[in-house]
Structure 1
Amino acid sequence: MSETGAPVKEQRVTKQRLAVSAALDDLNDFVSTQELHRILHERGVAVSLATSYRILQSMAEDGAVDVLRNPEGEAVYRRCTAAEHHHHLLCRNCGKAVEIEAPAVESWAAEIAAKHGYTEPSHTVEIIGLCPECTVKLHGAR
């Protein structure tokens, strides 16, 4: 079962899917589909951009990768390091992401959903700002 309670569909393990998974394992930061596609081609892996996109989407649906929108609105992906539901602080300057737990957000989302008669709520929270390093670079020590 997925996080939403829906059955998880079985994914066919292909050479391309394994290559995408291995590349994500080697990366510490979020990566766009185009960046990942470039990395795969540099490694000699023959995979189309469309296939890279489908694999990343599938992995996101399965909870195997985190997906965020960068400041330009482009989806970026990273191997999910937290096993539980979580949220992110994202630096709008350098792209650094920090995984955070937010129990107050979980309670609020459940309360709002119930108030309006919704069941099985899910949500995504991204807090976008400047990381400490970029704050110092852009504004000096505070």
Structure 2
Amino acid sequence: MAEHVTRRTAQKEAVREALRETRNFVSAQGLHRRLVDAGSRIGLATVYRQLNNLAAEGEADTIRMGGEQLFRDCGEDSSHHHHHLVCERCGKTVDIEPPSETWFRRVAQENGFTVNSHILEVFGTCADCRDRDEREDAAPPRTEGQGWAE
């Protein structure tokens, strides 16, 4: 029995560590692939379960993007409530300070709501992806038979 508990703890720790090494939001499948590539024999269902446990315990953030649930380590101070800017192309994530709690409560009250909790995620395109798009748009079209070394 103790072996089973130890195994689960070891799996959770492996998922936690892999998530800490990932700076941006990542899918369970993406994190599973990294773990397997690093030699782990952990199953995808276990990765999902452990990521959801970490999110429920406040150690991981979770968002939905493109119909997929993504996870990110909350960092050292997981008790600090925070919000994100998220690049829809590369997944780059930046913690941001939200509008004040007063703003949330005022907007809710104006619309007949009482605030129980809130989540604020702002999605867009980061400067790196925007710059890469501009460079690709400015590059001359490549014709058949044209090599990059020419």
Tell me whether the two structures share a fold, i.e. TM-score over 0.5: yes
Tell me the residue number matched to 2:146: none
Contact 2:63 2:71 in 1 (8 A): yes
| Structure 1 gap ranges (5+) | 1-11
| Structure 2 gap ranges (5+) | 1-5, 136-150
Note the C-alpha offset of 1:113. 4.4
**Alpha-carbon deviations, 1:65-102, whole Å to 9, x = none?**
111223x1211111112731111111112111110011
Whether 1:92 aligns to 2:120 is: no
Distance (whole Å) between structure 2 residues aligned to residue 17 and residue 97 of structure 1: 23
Aligned 1:51-130 pairs, distance under 5 A: 51-70=46-65, 72-81=66-75, 83=77, 84-104=80-100, 106-113=101-108, 116=112, 118=114, 121-130=116-125
Partner AA of 2:72 in structure 1: R
**92-101 or 42-51: which moved more?**
42-51
Distance (whole Å) between structure 1 residues aligned to residue 43 and residue 104 of structure 2: 38
Q: 1:82 to 1:25 in 2, by over 3 A?
A: closer
Between the two proteins, what is the percent identity of the paired residues?
40
Note the C-alpha offset of 1:27. 1.8
State TM-score, norm by structure 1. Answer: 0.76
Partner AA of 1:42 in structure 2: D
Distance (whole Å) between structure 2 residues aligned to residue 29 and residue 94 of structure 1: 9
State TM-score, norm by structure 2. Answer: 0.72
**C-alpha RMSD over aligned residues:** 2.2
Tell me the residue number matched to 1:23: 18
Q: How many residues were matched structurally?
A: 126
Q: Max radius of gyration: which structure? A: 2
Contact 2:98 2:120 in 1 (8 A): no
Distance (whole Å) between structure 1 residues aligned to residue 58 and residue 67 of structure 2: 21
